[in-house]
Structure 1
Amino acid sequence: MRCFVENHPAESFDVVVIGAGVIGCAVARRFVLEGARVLLLEKGADILSGASKGNSAILHTGFDAPPGSLEVACMQAGYEEYMAIVSRMNLAVLETGAIVAAWNDEEVAKLDGIEAQALENGVSDVRRVTREEILQREPHINPNVRAGLLVPREHVIDPWSAPLGYLTQAVQNGAQAVFDAEVKTAARVGGEWIVQTTKGEFRASFAVNCAGLFGDQVEQVFLGKASFEIRPRKGQFVVFDKPAASLIRTILLPVPTERTKGVVVVRTAFGNVLVGPTAEEQEDRIHAGVDETTLKGLVAKAAELVPALGEVPVNAIYAGLRPATEKKEYRVQIDAVRGYITLGGIRSTGLTAALGLAQHAFRLYSNAGARVIPLANPVWPQMPNLSEHRERDWERPGDNEIVCHCELVTRREIESALNSSVPARDFGGLRRRTRACMGRCQGFYCSARVAEITKGRFENPLSVGVSHE
């Protein structure tokens, strides 16, 4: 089943979702499961083309979120639902736990407050750990660590397969998705929205704005003014090569500041170690460049926390943008009269909160008087596994031509990604579905074969020897 349509001007949907990041994919899924006819519009060529493609992939418990906030409620609801559907959709969880590590007297003094906040948020399994306990658990950590707070249920997930799974389930249960469909105008006429896009005109009774870095601009289009202002915040990351994974098993979190959660050291589901992000304000909503000075600083910070990381080669560098606003909290509102919901200002916790935000959006929709009947027997897709701690496709029997030797990606995986219900529509989308060209050679050896396999499939073909995101 193909998930995208060129245009259906005569068809009217119950809900149009703007944006195919992790929030938009989760919202599309929730509304479809509840029985709504859903259309998703994405200005990019594929899902996760904006802020959602770059994050630290941590499944958060909400232990350090503002007590009583919508953020903590959605994070915890999202965490609970994700864990409930993991086996049903073949999603990944790398169970690591996390330690908030304190390195000086000032940071040690803050641990009591962090623990109290965690308990207030219902995360009752946190506990203080001594220097000796930390070193026993993490023998490669800098022995200058003073103390910490263990958060056992902070884990790592595959940040790309999860939202792909959400949209796949939505599509397999009737949703439609249109890509390269930038919203240009929206008018409320006769109880429905008439939305003009670069792919034509679409109609829906209700609109849910999940446009991330462009959320304020989309709200301006729908309502005539925006209730918030996006202020992009860049985060740069360093990815260490596979040997680094043997040096750490627990997420290392810093004692946070008022402005940022700080730099973390975390294993990835793909067998690497990630260090980052930074927190840098910028005006550009599209381009997230990296700079040598900052990246060297991240490498140095990683080696300071886990000295042996200083001997491991860097596998990749990248930067992502977070849709921060002028306020720290989520910017969620509803205009029930005009049939509009915005889910804005969803920053680093969005990967965890996505399913919870989708639940919240549907409650707002229902409270506005909308009535739909939940699906009795929805389809539950099984997602391909990309995580390193579980069986990979190359280990399975059959024709296992290895296309990408760094990441052990098979031709079967690539062809599956090109022909799935939500097919890869550009090279970035293919990488996120398969890990192809993401290894230590960054596509130097395998990009020619990938270009051959994908010939004629992408609007912008893969050019061998050219750097891609």
Structure 2
Amino acid sequence: MTGTTAEGRIYDVAIIGAGVVGCAVFRACVLAGAQTVLLEKGGDLLEGASKANSAILHTGFDATPDTLEAACVQQGYALYREICESMNLSVLKTGAMVVAWTDEDLARFPAIVDKASRNGVPVRVLDAQQARQREPALSEDVRGAVLVEGEDLIDPWTAPMAYAHQAIANGGMLMRKARVEGGARQGDVWRLDVAGKPAVSARVVINCAGNYGDLVEAIARPSPFTITPRKGQFVVFDKTAYELFRTIILPVPTALTKGVVVTRTVFGNVLVGPTAEPQDAREFPTVDHDHLTKLREAAFRIIPALIEHDVTTTYAGLRPATQFSDYQIEALDGLGWITVGGIRSTGLTGALGIAEHVVGLYRAHFADPTPLADVVVPHMPNLVEDLPRPWMQEGRGPIACHCERVTEREIETALTDAVLPVGTLGGLRRRTRCMMGRCQGFYCTRRVMELAQTHLPGLVSPIGEGRHDA
């Protein structure tokens, strides 16, 4: 439990789910002046859908125009760029190319350009020669590309951690290991049943439960949407491949998926994926040989030189897809409830825009608090490769993880953070990058466990688990 609480307290807002969207909504509600608690069933933040994504800061060029998703993605993109410097959050400028490999792909370019124009995003069509001039490592089979200069890469974990950190530093309350199992509206207050803990009372509940969104929605009403998790598998190539190219390589999208992306990461790797596989299970996505082989083969067709580089790891994530193509966000008048569901692959970019939209609904339907005047702004530690890292500094102390060059001091700082200490070993990896490099923890696990064991009771060896949580 992080923050302060009191027996019998009634919060203005209770948010269920501490993924990237829940963390952004948490921040927005606290800064808007609402007394807010964030409830997370896991032992740390980002333990569901948000722990696995391609980490692209989307312009929204390919969003369906005039949808809520398009509006939230564009506002989220602008807000991230507005706050990132003050919080020490990264932006790796890369641009993106939607690449055509066939005549059918080329025939879709006018529609892609028209959609981008309707969304207000400038793009430019390149012929095959121009595409290869920009990225010489592309296969000679390239037929052309649509260049989107504004698409960039970010650190997908530090950003939502910063949102939660700022919310707590400004008076918000976080409860981890707080699975909401039910609830009832009593007068104008929700009483939420939390497994193993006292009930939590709040005037308004915001459902940000991701892959469990339809089940949580049933607390308030029969859910109008059904979550069918969509699994995406990824392959991560070694850091030796990083200099092969710089632009995000996107396929011409289909109705089901944006397709297989080949991109750098801010951590110095090359990422290929995701697949798009509907499944029933809401947790523990697995990887399989056949899909991973197809991803590698697709990567080699796009950038042939990748065949000379090793795969560091593979992992899979689940996106909370519904039967609808747009976000499912609405306020339920008279019920003190706001639904935030169906946030799929654009959630990392759209989170801040979604949060502003949700606060607007809260003000319009439920209450109009006074925004905070003196706001604490956290300065987050840097994990990205293109900026100075702690291991480069004089007097850094011992290094615990040599693959990712993580110092013991970074690990100890994350474990003892006064505002938002690490809650799980997965959380420690996401805060520091330890055990996520070339050896996947083979050499550094013992030392990391020694550093963490007094702060994380019941710790067990993660060997094997890390390969699915890159």
Deviation sequence 1:228-287 (CA, Å, 0-9, x none)? 100010000000000111111000000001111100001000000000000001000012
Deviation sequence 1:332-386 (CA, Å, 0-9, x none)? 1210211100110000000000000000000000101402111111000000000
Alpha-carbon distance in structure 1 between the residues aligned to 2:390 and 2:40: 30
What's the offset of the Cα at 1:422?
1.2
List alignment gaps of at least 5 residues for structure 2: none
1:29 equivalenced with 2:34 (yes/no) = no
Q: Partner of 1:287: helix, strand, or coil?
A: coil
Q: Partner of 2:142: helix, strand, or coil?
A: coil
What residue is the counterpart of 1:336 in the other structure? Answer: 333
1:136 to 125, 133, 136: 133
Query: Which amino acid is 1:268 matched to?
Result: T
What residue is the counterpart of 1:3 in the other structure? Answer: 2
* Contact 2:3/2:172 (<8 A) preserved: no
Moved more, 34-43 or 389-398: 389-398
Deviation sequence 1:173-217 (CA, Å, 0-9, x none)? 000000111111211112111111012211111111000000000
**Correspondences of 1:100-111 after superposition (within 5 Å):** 100-111=98-109
**Correspondences of 1:19-418 after superposition (within 5 Å):** 19-123=17-121, 125-198=122-195, 199-221=197-219, 223-418=220-415
Alpha-carbon distance in structure 2 between the residues aligned to 1:460 and 1:51: 24
Alpha-carbon distance in structure 1 between the residues aligned to 2:307 and 2:174: 45
Alpha-carbon distance in structure 1 between the residues aligned to 2:247 and 2:108: 20
Q: Partner of 2:44: helix, strand, or coil?
A: coil
What's the offset of the Cα at 1:464?
6.7
1:445 equivalenced with 2:459 (yes/no) = no
Query: Which amino acid is 1:169 matched to?
Result: Q
Aligned-CA RMSD value: 1.2
Q: Partner of 1:453: helix, strand, or coil?
A: helix
What's the offset of the Cα at 1:224?
3.4
Residues 95 and 466 of structure 1, relative CA distance in 2, 3 Å threshold: closer
Alpha-carbon distance in structure 2 between the residues aligned to 1:40 and 1:279: 30
Residues 466 and 154 of structure 1, relative CA distance in 2, 3 Å threshold: closer
Residues 33 and 218 of structure 1, relative CA distance in 2, 3 Å threshold: same
Alpha-carbon distance in structure 1 between the residues aligned to 2:66 and 2:463: 51
Q: Partner of 2:410: helix, strand, or coil?
A: helix
Query: Which amino acid is 2:191 matched to?
Result: I
What's the offset of the Cα at 1:423?
1.2
Displaced runs of 4 or more, over 3 A: 464-469
Query: Which amino acid is 2:2 matched to?
Result: C
List alignment gaps of at least 5 residues for structure 1: none
* Contact 1:8/1:202 (<8 A) preserved: no
What's the offset of the Cα at 1:326?
1.2
Query: Which amino acid is 1:248 matched to?
Result: F
Alpha-carbon distance in structure 2 between the residues aligned to 1:289 and 1:8: 41
What's the offset of the Cα at 1:104?
0.9
Q: Give the percent of matched residue pairs that are identical in Structure 1 and Structure 2.
A: 51
Alpha-carbon distance in structure 1 between the residues aligned to 2:325 and 2:463: 41
Using the size of structure 2 for normalisation, the TM-score is: 0.97
* Contact 1:54/1:320 (<8 A) preserved: yes
* Contact 1:437/1:447 (<8 A) preserved: yes
Query: Which amino acid is 1:285 matched to?
Result: R
Query: Which amino acid is 1:192 matched to?
Result: V
* Contact 1:9/1:203 (<8 A) preserved: no
Residue-pair matches, total: 465
